[in-house]
Structure 1
Amino acid sequence: MTLALGLIALLATLAWLAGVVWFLRFFRPPAIEVPGRVTLLLAVTGRTDGLPPLFAALARQTLRPRRMLVAIEAESDPALAQVRELEPLLPFPIEIVVAGLDDTRSQKATNMIAALARVDAEDDALVLLDADILPQDHWLSWLATPAMNGAADVVTGYRWHALDGAGPGRHLVAWLDRALALGPRFLASGLVWGGSVAISRDALARMDLPGALASTFSTDGAISRRARSLGLRVLTRRAVLLPTPPEGGDREAVAFKTRQLQIVHVYVPSLWVWLGVALHAEALALPLALVGMAGDALALAFLAAVSAVGLLRAALHDRVTRAVGIREGKVARALQLALGALAPVTAPAVAILFWTSARTRVIRWRHIEYEVLGPDQVRVLRRHTPGAAA
């Protein structure tokens, strides 16, 4: 029994480590950047601390956008005033779109549908982005180039959590999310991450995004399904790894990750199952620890190996953190190293976090609670004031 538990836990831990090593092996700046006309589309709600640095980062882009469409749900949304305050920071124009309300899909989908009505054929690519990212100066060029030069139809990246000032809950969320960003599981899932995605002009004409989003909860999930159904070339660009500063405390971090996993559960259930298997295999280190406490020398040897691999994984995560332009303080780095070294405890905690996504019938996103019965079976249950805590 000890041998079986130890082998499974160690192999699972090594598999996650292999994903990091593979990522770093091919993580390099793109060799080609091309000029082009790009429109940004940002759906936002509530007044947020992250919006001023985001606008400042957009102003520094090496590829200047043609314009940005900002979609909000209502004139009363605090995001409207904040966007108007920040508009002078940008060297390109903003068009604000007030979408209105619809109870048969997510509010983000409603906002995006309204903004998509303003998209025209003058752009070489449309780029969707989230309000919580802090992109590097070359982000837009690196993301949009494959969509503009014909190398791909849809190009996406992924987030990378910045952890200075974060609590233990957010550190645990980041430990899981960083593994998903680096491992082959994310790359093979077919999921487009809507926080950073470029769509070529030709693909946009074929996709009918308003139709794809008409009754969805997750815009990412709907875009992914439409791209797969049309056989479009979807490229996950490793170099496009976006710093994402903390927003809120531990409770908000756990709610965020729960919702992300719920979306996977609804839109790619097979991936959710395989992710659960991988996480629980690593979590077998906990019963292994109990066996080791009873004096089993083989169990203790396996535990030492699992902890050593976890520590190495954390050290390589830190290398990626620096590579994407984040300079974290000693406390944040030490906490991540501790999570790696304490893999026999960290892995079961991550497995518990995974199980918060088992129920998907009711999902809260920002200030709205939804009933989600399937990928295209959504209705609003109740609305709170925009900007209220999730």
Structure 2
Amino acid sequence: MFWTAYLVVAVLVIVEGIGSLWGGARFRRYVRRRMAVDPLPYAPRAVVLLPCKGIDRNLADTLRALDRQDYPDYRVICAFESADDPALALARQVADERTGSRISTAVAQPATCRSQKIENLVAAIRQAGDWPEVYAFVDSDAVPHRLWLRFLVSALPEERVGAATGYRWYVPGHTLSGIVRCLWNAVAMTFLGDHDRNFCWGGSMAVRREFFERAGVLRRWDSALSEDFQVARATYDAGMRVRFVPQCLIPCHGDPTWREFWTFARRQLIITRVCEPRLWWAAALVTASFSVGFWGPLLLLLHGAAKGQAMEIFAGGVVLLTIYGLGMAKAALRKSAVSAALRGRPGGAAAGLGLFWDVFASPLVATFNAPLMVASGVSSRFGWRGIRYQMKSPLLTTVLSRDDRAAFDRTAVEQASPLPELDPNGARHGV
């Protein structure tokens, strides 16, 4: 009975691993194909919307990068909850560094029934008025290269494309928590590709204003928490596609504490469970099957070694090596794709450490994901930048409490070094 059950579980996990490996191969082919495509000459008036709360570690670099995009006609609006946010002063300081800066600011109000991020975005959109033809979205901890906006916007005129998205690649420092965050985040990346199931990432996203208004995104945001989930849902409800643009993959630097990683990962999983429950259940099933399929053979191998049981050693070792090998092979495909996407980009070389760990340690990420799945399944309450929220549905959010001082003071103002950028010929230079 034991061996029958063991064999069934092992076969199922190996089959899932083979399917996952095939998905990794598709992802790499797509990235390599898209990386050979130059941006289209399509460059309508665009406004970059940057919601801020508190000073992120690289915010000055983010602002300088946005102010120096290789794009003919665009503006940048940084939106804040309050004039007391120290990030507002930093934005104005960076804008004053150069004549003709494209940076302006908008002040929203404290959110009462939706996320503060959406509240800030709505204030920025209202300030932009009818001028822009395209809305581009970026997070305050993302530092895009000079051609980021051009590549992102140039995907929008493609057939049936309603939104264009990039993604993030966390570059770890030298802490285990940073490495784990890199691995945990990397798993979702290979879900993107040339298909109709792409998600949007609000840290690197663009949509035409005409479609944004026609799809009623502002209405969907009325009481929502996640801006990018609603953009993706509006896109698919309109029969359109989300185009993944690998040139808009953004390396994000810095190491979180274990508490910060737990809070971040649990929040992402809660948002997924509420907004896309089928995806959350699929992730839970994969996590459970991989955990059993990986640790079961390992324990069997160790037990066999302790008892001198050759059959247990063989059965555990073969299954363990197969599962681990499949995981490493998929991670190697992802490494190849990410290396191609970041080659020659600012921060691309530093991503090498994360890529190394992605290959050799990614099969262990399910170990960290298992308790996160449980924690995200038992409650829909979480904290985000000094505010406690409860997600009751994709379109209904409750603000439970606020501690804005903690959010504003979470990092100190940093004077960033000159930002290395990418010119149209691929050469790096200082600003």
Please give the TM-score of this superposition, normalised by the length of structure 2: 0.82
Distance 1:16 1:255, change over 3 A: farther
Native 8 Å contact 1:2 1:299 kept in 2 = no
- State the secondary structure of the residue aligned to 2:69: coil
Equivalent position amino acid for 1:139 in 2: W
Native 8 Å contact 1:116 1:210 kept in 2 = no
Q: Match for 1:226 among 214, 223, 234?
A: 234
Unmatched segments (≥5 aa) in structure 2: 305-311, 343-347, 412-431
**Matching residue of 1:8:** 12
Distance 1:121 1:275, change over 3 A: same
Q: Match for 1:126 among 132, 135, 138?
A: 135
Equivalent position amino acid for 2:10 in 1: G
Equivalent position amino acid for 1:327 in 2: A
Distance in 1 of aligned mates of 2:29 and 2:175: 31
1:133-282 to 2 correspondences below 5 Å: 133-148=142-157, 152-163=161-172, 165-183=173-191, 189=197, 191-246=199-254, 248-282=256-290
- State the secondary structure of the residue aligned to 2:398: strand
Unmatched segments (≥5 aa) in structure 1: none
Residue by residue, what CA displacement relative to the aligned partner does 1:255-275 show, whole Å, maximum 9, x if unpaired? Answer: 212111111111111111011
Distance 1:187 1:97, change over 3 A: farther
Distance in 1 of aligned mates of 2:111 and 2:352: 46
**Matching residue of 1:336:** 358
**Matching residue of 1:387:** 408
Q: Match for 1:74 among 66, 72, 82?
A: 82
Distance in 2 of aligned mates of 1:186 and 1:360: 34
Shift of 1:70: 1.0
Equivalent position amino acid for 1:31 in 2: D
Please give the TM-score of this superposition, normalised by the length of structure 1: 0.90
Q: Match for 1:374 among 393, 415, 421?
A: 393
Distance 1:199 1:4, change over 3 A: same
Equivalent position amino acid for 2:133 in 1: D
1:293-332 to 2 correspondences below 5 Å: 293-295=302-304, 296=312, 297-325=314-342, 326-328=348-350, 332=354
1:107-118 to 2 correspondences below 5 Å: 107-118=116-127
Distance in 2 of aligned mates of 1:166 and 1:249: 12
2:377 is the counterpart of 1:354: no
Seq. identity, %:
24
Equivalent position amino acid for 1:269 in 2: P
Q: Match for 2:96 among 82, 88, 91?
A: 88
Structure possessing the higher radius of gyration over alpha carbons: 2
Native 8 Å contact 2:13 2:323 kept in 1 = yes
Q: Give the superposed CA RMSD.
A: 2.6
The alignment covers a number of residue pairs equal to 386
Distance in 2 of aligned mates of 1:292 and 1:5: 16
Distance 1:275 1:118, change over 3 A: same
Equivalent position amino acid for 1:322 in 2: S
Distance in 2 of aligned mates of 1:387 and 1:117: 24
Distance in 2 of aligned mates of 1:334 and 1:346: 14
**Matching residue of 1:49:** 57
Shift of 1:245: 1.7
Residue by residue, what CA displacement relative to the aligned partner does 1:295-349 show, whole Å, maximum 9, x if unpaired? Answer: 2112211111222223333333333343232213775555434414xx3x44333
Shift of 1:369: 0.6
Shift of 1:217: 1.4
Distance in 2 of aligned mates of 1:37 and 1:335: 41
- State the secondary structure of the residue aligned to 2:96: helix
Q: Match for 2:40 among 13, 30, 33?
A: 33
- State the secondary structure of the residue aligned to 1:147: coil
Native 8 Å contact 1:5 1:285 kept in 2 = no
- State the secondary structure of the residue aligned to 1:234: strand
Shift of 1:10: 2.3
Residue by residue, what CA displacement relative to the aligned partner does 1:175-206 show, whole Å, maximum 9, x if unpaired? Answer: 23212111359965453211111111320231
Shift of 1:290: 1.3
Shift of 1:166: 4.7
Native 8 Å contact 1:42 1:129 kept in 2 = yes
Native 8 Å contact 2:225 2:395 kept in 1 = yes
Shift of 1:353: 2.8
- State the secondary structure of the residue aligned to 1:117: helix
Shift of 1:291: 1.8
- Which range moved further: 128-137 or 89-98? 89-98
